[in-house]
Amino acid sequence: MPDSTIDLQRILAETFVARAEHHPTLGSTNDRARECLGDGGPTPLLVVADRQTRGRGRGTNRWWTWPGCLAFSLLLSPETTPSDPRRRPLVALAAGLAVVDAIRPLVDRQPVGLHWPNDVFVGDRKLAGVLVEVPSEGSHIVGIGVNTNNSLADAPEEIRDRAITLYDLTGRRHNQTGILVEILKHFQRALDQVRECPDALGARANELCLQIGRTLAIRNGAESATGRCAGIAPNGALLLDTPDGRREFHGGTLG
C-alpha cells in the first residue's frame, strides 16, 4: 500500500465504484483514466493519486497536487451519464455539488458553495476544482481535486492568496477515504438526478452559487460579455444580467 490512507476495499464496498486503482505518483489521473477507456474492465473506474506531476485544470490551468491533496478521476460509461449532450454541463455541476455536500459537515458555519462552472469555494477561496472530459461518445472522465490534508504553507506562491485547504480551515487532518466515500455517494445520487430530474439539480446549484450579485466577465470563443451574475439556470447555464438584458452561457471562461 502506498504512503497514504486510501482504502480501496472500503471504497469498493461502500460506493458505486466497480474498479479502483491507487498510485503514489501519476502524471494526471484523468490521463490514466483515459488510458483505461475501452479496455473492457468494469466501470465506474476510480483512479486516485497521492501526487500528480502534470495535474490539469480547465483550459490551460494546472492543478497543483502536493502531499495531502485528494486527486482522483472517475471513468463513467454512457449508461451512467446523460445521453443528451445539452445535459453535459450538469455532470460537472453534479460533481461540484457532491464535493460541497461531502465537505460542508466538516467546516460548520463556513460559506461553502459553487463558483460556476464547477469550482468549490469556501468564502472567497477555492477548495476544489472539477475537470470533465468526454473522450468518446457518452463516456465521461470526471477529475476532481480537493485541497484536504495539504496546507497552504507548502503551496506555490501563486495560489496562496486564492486557495484554501480543509486542513488550514479546521486545523486538523481528515480521513481521506472517508471524504472520498462521501463524495462518491453524493455524486452517484447527483448523477441519478441529472438523468431523472435535471432541473432540480440546476436549482440546487443555483442555491449554492456564491457568485450571485457579483460582476463577472465571461469569454466563450469569439463571444464575450460582462454582467451581474443572476445565478445558475435549471439547465446548468450561467445567467448574466448584461446591458443587453439577461443572457445564458452554456460554456466559457470567467475572467
Q: Which residue bears the cell 479546521?
A: 170
Closest CB to ligand BTN among 51 and 195? 51
Q: Does 145 contact ligand BTN by CB under 6 A?
A: yes
Return the DSSP state at 78.
T
Concatenating the DSSP letter of every residue in 216-239 gives EEEEETTEEEEEEEEEE-TTS-EE
CB of 109 to ligand BTN, least distance (A): 25
Of 58, 125, 189, 247, the one binding ligand BTN (CB under 6 A) is 58
CB 217 within 8 A of CB 46: no
- Whether the link from the prior residue into 243 is cis, omega within 30° of 0, is no
Closest CB to ligand BTN among 148 and 230? 148
Concatenating the DSSP letter of every residue in 117-170 gives TTEEEETTEEEEEEEEEEEETTEEEEEEEE--S--GGGS-HHHHTTB--HHHHH
Of 71, 90, 164, 240, the one binding ligand BTN (CB under 6 A) is 71
Q: Does 155 contact ligand BTN by CB under 6 A?
A: no
Stretch that binds ligand BTN, among 26-34, 156-164, 165-173, 239-247 (CB under 6 A): 26-34
Of 7, 43, 46, 55, the one binding ligand BTN (CB under 6 A) is 55
Q: Does 231 contact ligand BTN by CB under 6 A?
A: no
Residue ranges binding ligand BTN (CB under 6 A): 28-30, 52, 55-58, 61, 63, 71-73, 119, 129-131, 143-145
